[in-house]
């Protein structure tokens, strides 16, 4: 068999490449798969030569004993391990790892039948041993690396969800604190507009905690409702005017058609719009205008927040909604709040976009399906 493999090496590799090319999603280069079929074929040939020379130690060192060796990898084990890792990095599945070695076995069997090349039973036994060991080591490494990758992804996802929760809890707690201070300093009644802001902030805190509790329990809930956009904007304006950063800006709220309505989670939409306004107050130029405008556009309701921050740096709009990736102009923390806002709005079948106005500012737009006011 070892002479047959040496004499027909190129033909066997070509047949394996053809089989690989016929399977979907296999675009790896020969360099990327260097630890695959060609190397295994050479190792199999050397194993057969060693056994033909009655050198059992060399045979085991190259291809390992039957059943493999968990304490020390053979040459085949080392290259198969690297091959399994490469296939994972290329986005392949575990069955494709097995198919790579199965292709070679099929190619050898087919070509031997075509050439009428007889093999001894012992040689077939060696071929099977090499295949089993290579497949086992490749699949073991593939699975190990995949599990490690999934753990990293899961940890990152948990970190992001925790970051979102903390961010929103902090915002609601901050608004509630500002409302309490305003009530104390102004000696106002709790039943007024500022008291309503305090109650809504506390309600949002409760909602966030309930959502987190439901997620831990594996439960879901739909807390959307149809409500007036005009009334909603009034509530948002009252809360926004408590923001200490607003003192450096001129805040203008345009009149809203009282007939406009949307179907959404009101508290989460309020939090999303509050994030947009906080960013606008923080980054707009001193004494410049921040505008809040809600209006109908076809079958949608659009809510614009426009500032005069001077515009975005090159590529800033593309990174604006990526969590934990602030812009290059020092706007640390910008990405997390906007990412949360976009997720909340998309959960209500809406969209959040940003338009850069060069040398002037930004316009953030929330788009939601328009509903009939009941």
What's the CA gap between 2 and 10, in Å, rounded?
A: 14
Q: What is the model's pLDDT at position 133?
A: 81
Is 265 in contact with 347 (CB distance < 8 Å)? yes
Q: Give residue-wise pLDDT tens across range 77-100.
A: 777 777 777 767 666 666 666 777
Residue 22, pLDDT above cutoff 60:
yes
How would residue 339 be classed by pLDDT, with cut points 50, 70 and 90? confident
150: Cβ contacts below 8 Å, ≥ 6 apart: none
* Alpha-carbon dihedral sign for residues 68, 70, 74, 79: positive
| Beta bridge mates, 253 | 292
Is 123 in contact with 48 (CB distance < 8 Å)? yes
What's the CA gap between 257 and 262, in Å, rounded?
A: 13
Q: Give residue-wise pLDDT tens across range 137-191.
A: 777 777 777 777 767 766 666 666 677 677 777 777 877 888 788 877 777 777 7
CB atoms within 10 A of CB 219: 10
Q: What is the model's pLDDT at position 333?
A: 43
Is 87 in contact with 124 (CB distance < 8 Å)? no
Q: Give residue-wise pLDDT tens across range 276-310.
A: 998 898 889 988 999 999 999 999 999 999 999 98
What's the CA gap between 140 and 143, in Å, rounded?
A: 5
- Model confidence pTM above 0.75: no
What is the four-CA torsion angle of 140, 141, 144, 148, rounded to 10 degrees? -170
How would residue 332 be classed by pLDDT, with cut points 50, 70 and 90? very low
Reference 1, options 129, 97, 111, 117; nearest CA is: 117
| Residue with the larger pLDDT of the pair 216 and 263 | 263
Q: What is the model's pLDDT at position 371?
A: 92
Please provide residue 228's backbone torsions phi and psi, each rounded to the nearest 5 degrees.
-70, 130
- 67: region left, alpha or beta (phi > 0 left; psi from -120 to 50 alpha): left
- 102: region left, alpha or beta (phi > 0 left; psi from -120 to 50 alpha): alpha
Instruction: Show the CA angle centred on residue 300, arms to residues 297 and 301, nearest 5°.
Output: 80
Reference 87, options 13, 29, 142, 149; nearest CA is: 142
Beta-strand relationship, 261-264 and 361-371: antiparallel
Rg of the Cα trace of the chain? 32
Is 44 in contact with 127 (CB distance < 8 Å)? yes
| Beta bridge mates, 351 | 367
| Beta bridge mates, 261 | 228, 371
């Amino acid at each position: 068999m070892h002479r047959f493999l040496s004499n027909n090496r190129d033909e066997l590799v070509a047949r394996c490449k053809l089989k690989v090319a016929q399977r979907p999603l296999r675009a790896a280069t020969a360099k990327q798969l260097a630890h695959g079929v060609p190397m295994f074929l050479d190792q199999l040939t050397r194993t057969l030569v060693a056994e033909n020379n009655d050198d059992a130690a060399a045979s085991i060192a190259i291809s390992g004993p039957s059943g493999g060796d968990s304490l020390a990898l053979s040459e085949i084990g080392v290259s198969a391990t690297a091959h399994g890792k490469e296939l994972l990095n290329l986005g392949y599945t575990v069955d494709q790892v097995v198919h790579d070695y199965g292709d070679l076995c099929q190619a050898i069997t087919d070509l031997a039948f075509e050439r009428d090349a007889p093999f001894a039973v012992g040689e077939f036994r060696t071929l099977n041993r090499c295949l089993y060991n290579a497949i086992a080591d490749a699949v073991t490494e593939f699975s190990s690396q995949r599990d490690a990758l999934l753990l990293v992804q899961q940890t990152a996802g948990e970190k992001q969800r925790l970051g979102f929760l903390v961010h929103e809890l902090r915002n609601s707690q901050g608004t509630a604190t500002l409302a309490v201070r305003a009530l104390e300093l102004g000696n106002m009644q709790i039943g007024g507009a500022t008291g309503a802001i305090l109650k809504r902030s506390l309600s949002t805190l409760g909602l966030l905690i309930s959502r987190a509790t439901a997620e831990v329990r594996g439960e879901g809930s739909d807390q959307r409702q149809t409500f007036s956009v005009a009334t909603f904007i009034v509530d948002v304006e009252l809360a926004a005017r408590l923001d200490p950063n607003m003192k450096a800006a001129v805040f203008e709220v345009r009149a809203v058609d009282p007939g406009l309505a949307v179907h959404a989670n009101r508290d989460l939409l309020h939090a999303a719009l509050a994030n947009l306004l906080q960013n606008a107050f923080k980054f707009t130029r001193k004494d410049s205008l921040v505008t809040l405008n809600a209006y109908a556009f076809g079958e949608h309701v659009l809510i614009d927040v426009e500032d005069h921050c001077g515009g975005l740096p090159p590529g800033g709009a593309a990174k604006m909604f990526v969590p934990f990736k602030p812009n290059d102009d020092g706007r640390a923390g910008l990405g997390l709040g906007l990412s949360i806002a976009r997720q909340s709005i998309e959960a209500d079948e809406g969209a959040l976009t940003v338009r850069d106005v060069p040398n002037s500012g930004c316009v953030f737009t929330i788009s939601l399906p328009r509903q009939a006011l009941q």
